[in-house]
Structure 1
């Protein structure tokens, strides 16, 4: 008698692309990131899924605020990692600044993204740049 054993072999997910040019688009982008993590087999643990959504939210918010007012998000997954790539038309790389604890003008996002990701890189594009953030799956 043959028996088949099933295992949770990571299946590559198709890349997801979302474009936005307004603060209203951030909610749609978060929803797309959540749907993407839900579609992965095996699904990442809830903490990883929440972290991915947070990284997406921070990067697209920064793209709108500092990157020229529009962005393209690409989500992809491999066997061991999930990659968030956010492109915007501003060629300037993100800059670290001291978080503002008094008037809530920000400064926390880039620190947070750097802390939460396994690997972070910036690729110049024409025009602008793409930030690639890789998380452990």
Structure 2
């Protein structure tokens, strides 16, 4: 199997993901530098999965959306839950699921009504606008929650499809 240079090709680095997709986990502690580390980890996964680099503007926009969603979810965990425990990325078919796990076992409380002209309270609103689906799941062992968002790939792009010959 030859792997093309990701800096010069729009072809996926991984010719095909397994049917169950691929999972990437990043264990985290504290809050200092956490958002940047999560963005770097996500950017590397997007390169490995063939989302980046790309000349396709739709694909580039979705990759930018993914990075912004990661930043917002991790920032919320840093501000409101003492920092995230883990970032989980799961690519399968035409969907990328982003999960940020934190130790605070309380439901999300988006600021409503959303007030665009006021400072603060915009993170979850942006996630709702950018993600195809999003939500949270309360966890019991260990206690905490998973805040997740799913991104659909642009039509015609499937990370499990092999590249054209």
What TM-score bracket applies, with the shorter chain setting the length?
Answer: 0.7 to 0.9
1:31 maps to what in 2? Answer: 40
Greater helix fraction, Structure 1 or Structure 2? 1
Q: Does 1:46 align with 2:55?
A: no
> For the Cα contact (< 8 Å) 1:33–1:53, is it kept in 2?
yes
CA, structure 1 residues 100+114, in 2 after alignment: closer, same or farther (shift >3 Å)?
closer
Shift of 1:100: 6.8
Identify the match of residue 92 of structure 2 among 62, 78, 82: 78
Larger deviation, residues 54-63 vs 85-94: 85-94
Number of residue equivalences: 129
Question: Gapped runs of 5+ residues in structure 1?
Answer: 1-6
Shift of 1:25: 1.6
TM-score normalised by the chain length of structure 2: 0.69
Tell me how large the CA RMSD over aligned residues is. Answer: 2.2
Question: Gapped runs of 5+ residues in structure 2?
Answer: 1-10, 154-165
> For the Cα contact (< 8 Å) 2:104–2:144, is it kept in 1?
yes
Give a deviation string over 1:46-70, Cα, whole Å, max 9, x none.
1111110100000010011112333
If asked which structure has higher relative contact order (CA below 8 Å, sep 6+), I would say 2
Work out the CA distance in 1 between the residues paired with 2:50 and 2:84.
31
Q: Does 1:15 align with 2:31?
A: no
SS in 2 for 1:51: helix
Work out the CA distance in 2 between the residues paired with 1:15 and 1:88.
18
